[in-house]
Amino acid sequence: MEFFRIKKDIPFMKHALIFNAISFITFALAVFFLFTRGLHLSVEFTGGTVMEVAYSQPAELAKVRETVSALGYPEVQVQNFGTARDVMIRLPVQKGVTSAQQSEQVLSALKAADPEVTLRRTEFVGPQVGEELVHGGLMALAMVVVGIVIYLAFRFEWKFGIAAIIANLHDVVIILGFFAFFQWEFSLAVLAAVLAVLGYSVNESVVIFDRIREAFRKYRKMTTHEVIDHAITSTMSRTIITHASTEAMVLSMFFFGGPSLHYFALALTIGIVFGIYSSVFVAAAIAMWLGVKREDLVKPTKKEGDPNDPQAGATV
């Protein structure tokens, strides 16, 4: 389905050097902030106190979160579990304060707001759990990266696989750079969003690469950069429709999903925006710099009457 069709190809690759320079600067800034500021890791990664409290009536999570935040926990995790009356509170580690002192302080504040609240359970989640989660997350990321490279190398050509994974890792690092610069909380939900962005971006790359292969087969007189320009231009309508509908869903989570989905949706939003940029411009440009050509995707065959012309029997 197309809402519109651009008849004249847009010369994207004419400005490929500019696109790659912007990507490199953005990537370098993200790496700089990651090393200098670091990620603000959530309780799942750093360890902390987990409290479960029960209310006599359905709990107002916003009010509970406001009460706990007033104690010096600006990004505390508050969510229902089981029923609307049961609330789980995750508190980060504070220097010089024990887990028992934290839970007692929070429970006192909650009782001041609602005397009927009761403590069901409190426990300390040690940093060992955080180490296991970090290891698992990195292993998942590594497996995704290897899988993407192998898939694209078999489906297209190894140059496309390298180009796509560079572009997609560029998206991941930029998301992490945003979280490091603004010190937004990095939780398991955000990690899930980062992995989702990898899959989302590679899907766009596959569409572009498919169009490049089709254009190489169809337009034998076009140069490589002209083929890439045509492939990107011909997918503009699809790109706008797909990403606009996806972003509408993500923004609905961002605005109406509550604090528990806030950073998840934010990571997806950043990933979608930069995913469009990297898949459409960066991945294709890197493939061009790597020297992708018609012979990489369209294997020539010789006709009987012209054995000296390697392009005579090329598939069109």
Instruction: Quickly count: other Cβ atoms within 10 Å of residue 124's Cβ.
Output: 16
Residue by residue, DSSP assigns 63-89 as: HHHHHHHTTT-TT-EEEEESEEEEEEE
Q: Are the beta carbons of 123 and 50 closer than 8 angstroms?
A: yes
Q: Matching CATH topology for 12-39+129-297 and 48-125?
A: no
Tell me which amino acid residue 236 is. M
Alpha helix ranges (H) inside 114-187: 127-155, 158-182
Q: Which CATH superfamily is domain 12-39+129-297 in?
A: Multidrug efflux transporter AcrB transmembrane domain (1.20.1640.10)
Strands (E), the chain: 40-41, 48-54, 77-81, 83-92, 118-125, 185-186
> pLDDT 10s digit of each residue in the chain, 316 long?
556 677 788 888 888 888 888 889 999 999 999 999 999 888 777 778 889 999 988 888 889 999 998 988 877 888 888 788 899 998 888 888 888 888 999 999 999 988 889 999 888 877 766 677 777 777 877 887 788 778 877 877 788 888 888 888 888 899 999 999 998 988 888 988 988 888 788 888 888 888 888 888 888 888 888 999 988 888 888 888 888 889 999 999 999 988 778 999 999 999 988 888 887 778 888 888 888 887 777 666 555 444 544 444 444 3
Cβ neighbors of 14 (< 8 A, separation 6 or more) are 225, 229
Cβ neighbors of 145 (< 8 A, separation 6 or more) are 165, 168, 169, 198
Neighbouring-strand partners of residue 124: 49
Domain boundary assignment for the chain: 12-39+129-297, 48-125
Could you tell me the pTM of the whole model?
Answer: 0.78
Compute CA 278 distance to the chain's CA centroid, rounded to the nearest angstrom: 12
CATH code: domain 48-125 is 3.30.70.3400
Q: How far apart, in whole angstroms, are the C-alpha atoms of residue 108 and residue 178?
A: 36
